[in-house]
Structure 1
Amino acid sequence: MSEQIPVRDVTPGTVETYDLYAKREKIQTRSYKGFFKNIRLAGVAFLFLLYFGTAWLQWDGRQAVLWDLPARQFHIFGATFQPQDFFLLSFLLIICAFGLFFITVFAGRVWCGYTCPQTVWTWIFMWAERVTEGERNARIKLDKAPMSANKLARRTAKHSIWIAVSLVTALTFVGYFTPIRGLVADLFTLEMGGWALFWVFFFTAATYMNAGWLREQVCTHMCPYARFQSVMFDKDTLIISYDEKRGEDRGPRKKGVEPASVGLGDCIDCSMCVQVCPTGIDIREGLQMECISCAACIDACDTVMDKMNYPRGLISYTTEHNQSGEKTQFLRPRLIGYGLALITMIGLFIATVAGMAEVAVEVERDRNVLYREARGGDIENVYIIKIFNKTSEPRSFDLAVEGHPELNLEMPANRLAVGPNGMLQLPVTVQLDPAFIEGTNMAIEFRVTAEDDPDISATSESRFMGPTLR
């Protein structure tokens, strides 16, 4: 008789269903104070100063940080990068990715709660709501009230602030690609170009919609980070959690009443943690995908605990191991691996930037004709040479071709002058007696050397094409 595999019914008692087309319930948050809010305000102030202030800095007579797309030059303070340096962007993206992975494994979604632009601008827009429409209860009451002169005036003031913040944000962003001083002057004199006007309008509208209307929906439905964050969490990751053992059973009571004397936990069921949450979740129901680790619920709950003369920390940053009474391991293989990868990529990036040449040369063969016969019987190839001066001073360069002693280089000018952070493009011809051509093509090398400093040089390989010798 064969053995039967035991079967156990694991069907959950209740199954939650969600209507994907349900109307969004507007989240009205409550004001609060606390330690983590102060940290976020300090961080936001620094980021705002960095974002809005950097665009106005000057460096050697030009904007300090400018992505000059028409000129194909990217200025970052004293350094100027050309399109051929675009690979450095890959370094930066990889560094940002490993940095995000490291932070997520260590402390969860603190990026979302403290520094993500969507979160930062949403908090600014919610502040505008409080200034113009009042606190949470007043805003809820105003939403339900019929349209009146008072409601219209408050809504107009709110949306005016939203649009003003969005416009300044958009102008600053576009100002990193078009000199911001001229951009602002063109806006007020109504002389802004078509493309600049389009992008200012586009980013104004995007900021207004994302921070004013979509808000938490961007984090919940549009941002992919919320979907894959759980894969990076482990039982030693810092998360915001409610201490169920200490808090349950919930229930109201008078100030100063000991929870044990009334058969309750420390949670007085005031719902303050829900009212301050920008995504509208109840952290007491456990960690949820919508939680952005902003710690608003921690500050609100600690304030209530202080008023009740209870210990703080009913809601806190903690780990699963800590909750279960086990020791949290901060240094673990995954975290160490991400940390080493991050340090390695930062080191490679710094070494690459520090070792970048002050001059670069690109060579492109004439694709229309492989070769042609010059007067005297020599074989001639035509090339397009691009010389990039990556220094902030004008320089003159010498151009030479190597690969065979009999190679003859002809170019339209003997002195190749290139402006600061500039590029010079010129056609050149290289001639060689057919008797010296090795096969149908041979390797040659173009060398560019600064006249005032032989150590400043660059090379680029190419091919010299010729006929088949019989």
Structure 2
Amino acid sequence: MTSNTTDPSQDELYKKREKIYPREVHGIFALLRNLTMVTLLGLYYGLPWINWDNHQSILFDLPERKFYVFGFTFWPQDFFLLTILLIIAAVALFFFTTLAGRLWCGYACPQTVWTEIFLWFERKIEGSRQKQIKLDKAPLSARKVGIKTFKHFVLIAFSLWTGFTFVGYFTPITELSQSVIHMTLGPWETFWIIFYGFATYGNAGWLREQVCIYMCPYARFQSAMFDHDTLIISYDEKRGNPRGARKRGASSAEAGLGDCIDCKLCIQVCPVGIDIRDGLQYQCIGCAACIDVCDDVMEKMSYPKGLIKYTTENALFGKATKILRPRILFYTALLVALTAGLVYGVASRVPLEVNIIRDRNTLYNETSQGLIENVYTLKLINMTNEDQVFDIKASGIEGLKLVGTSEGIKVVTGGVKDVPIRLHADPIMLKSRSSEVIFHVEARDNKEAKHSENGRFLGPLIK
């Protein structure tokens, strides 16, 4: 027999999305969030226009294989530094999540930052939360079409500017702007401007909280980094319940209620539309908007602030909170070690790479003068910003002679050159069948571009 009863869980699973209209909120955390937004957007849109040492401050020049980051020039050979940087970013995310919850999501995530600026545009064009709801419910009219059209025109223009800036990190932005003005953009620049602009418009203009709830994997595994001492945003049930409306200034005890007046403003300001009073939820991005609005309500009611606040699970149950705990100490030590390694790697990097390739066809040769000959190919990679002339020397065996072109070797900037080298040694000077030799390569006009690389010299052992 077939039942017509519908499982409530199925209704929730396939529930149609209801548009969220976050209410504007003011307070200390809103100020911090706005300052972070302005700072990050200012850096993103401003850095490509700043020159540094006669080049764009940050430019990833893929055709030339040069990556400019302020005063440093990196090459594909330096990608191990990028690996360390990415590991540092991951460990830092684990560290801050364990310490203070979703700080990244609430203040610095690109989805949050661009959604905030898009919400600001909407408030300036459509008005407050109530006006936006009223406008959406109003029947179709010339006024409604005009406002909506203008809003989406602004959002699309801002998104395309975002895509233009993104491409400006890979193509010099002054050249890119001239190409846009003269309509001479190449196919790849056009594609990425439109693609990145479309992604910004879609994610921040339409999907918004859906990205955080359904698409972002961080929301799913964050609980693995939480513990009872992690700082989270929480509602104080003991103080707030039972909830109920009352007149301003009325005592909670006299009304037989908790401090929560059930105004639901904490829901209205939430960018993901959750009720923080239901407890910690994976959808919560930790933006603290509910703290600001609740504190404002408590102040108007002459109640103590902190009904919703940053706290820990241990603190909620009257237990002591431990900040310095094994997990935090481990992440701290790992961050310090990785950061020190990155700094050392950047500081000690040499703008010259030398690879030694031995002749695989023969171990060694004996010359007509009775000397032992080994043949090598030295691969020189010039990672300076200018063409260089290099000189090559060899040491490690007494009387070692370098035969072939070893001086005045020109390598263009970013270029790779194979240099054939022959080493001759007196067999009497060989102490073993395999001796260590050192190749010294140095640029004539750049003392920093010098490098020594060890190799092996093979020969017979004469007793």
> TM range, normalised to the smaller chain?
0.7 to 0.9
1:440 deviates by 11
CA change 1:433–1:348 in 2 (3 A) is closer
Alignment correspondent of 2:155 = 162
1:201 deviates by 1.0
Residue type matched to 2:49 in 1?
A: W
Residue type matched to 1:89 in 2?
A: L
* Residue in structure 2 matching 1:423, options 396, 414, 430: 414
Q: Which moves more between the two structures, 308-317 or 394-403?
A: 394-403
Alignment correspondent of 1:151 = 144
Q: Which moves more between the two structures, 268-277 or 131-140?
A: 131-140
Alignment correspondent of 1:296 = 289
Q: Deviations over 1:17-42 (max 9, x none)?
A: 56444322111111121111011111
1:153-232 alignment runs, 5 A limit: 153-232=146-225
Residue type matched to 1:383 in 2?
A: T
1:457 deviates by 2.1
Q: Calculate percent identity across the aligned residue pairs.
A: 48
* Residue in structure 2 matching 1:385, options 361, 379, 395: 379
* Residue in structure 1 matching 2:262, options 269, 288, 313: 269
Alignment correspondent of 2:20 = 27
CA change 1:394–1:99 in 2 (3 A) is same
Kept in 1: contact 2:354–2:378 (CA 8 A): no
Kept in 2: contact 1:36–1:299 (CA 8 A): yes
Alignment correspondent of 1:103 = 96
Residue type matched to 2:322 in 1?
A: Q
Whole-Å Cα distance in 2 between the matches of residues 129 and 370 of structure 1? 74
Residue type matched to 1:388 in 2?
A: N
* Residue in structure 2 matching 1:62, options 43, 55, 60: 55
Q: Deviations over 1:391-424 (max 9, x none)?
A: x56543202355665654434x8413456xx234
Whole-Å Cα distance in 2 between the matches of residues 224 and 133 of structure 1? 33
1:80-99 alignment runs, 5 A limit: 80-99=73-92
TM-score (normalizing by structure 1): 0.86
Whole-Å Cα distance in 1 between the matches of residues 448 and 112 of structure 2? 50
Structure 2 residue 225 is the aligned partner of structure 1 residue 242:
no
Gapped runs of 5+ residues in structure 1?
1-13
TM-score (normalizing by structure 2): 0.88
CA change 1:240–1:69 in 2 (3 A) is same
Structure 2 residue 340 is the aligned partner of structure 1 residue 347:
yes
Alignment correspondent of 2:4 = none
Two-structure CA RMSD over aligned residues (Å): 3.1
Alignment correspondent of 1:362 = 355
Alignment correspondent of 2:307 = 314
Alignment correspondent of 1:410 = 404
Residue type matched to 1:135 in 2?
A: S
1:245 deviates by 0.9
Residue type matched to 1:160 in 2?
A: F
Q: Which moves more between the two structures, 304-313 or 138-147?
A: 138-147
1:323 deviates by 1.0
Whole-Å Cα distance in 2 between the matches of residues 406 and 321 of structure 1? 72
* Residue in structure 2 matching 1:448, options 441, 450, 457: 441
Whole-Å Cα distance in 2 between the matches of residues 451 and 96 of structure 1? 39
SS in 1 for 2:381: strand
SS in 1 for 2:153: helix
CA change 1:376–1:192 in 2 (3 A) is farther
Q: Which moves more between the two structures, 161-170 or 438-447?
A: 438-447
1:141 deviates by 2.4
CA change 1:199–1:372 in 2 (3 A) is farther
Kept in 1: contact 2:364–2:374 (CA 8 A): yes
1:265 deviates by 1.1
Q: Deviations over 1:171-190 (max 9, x none)?
A: 11211111111111211211
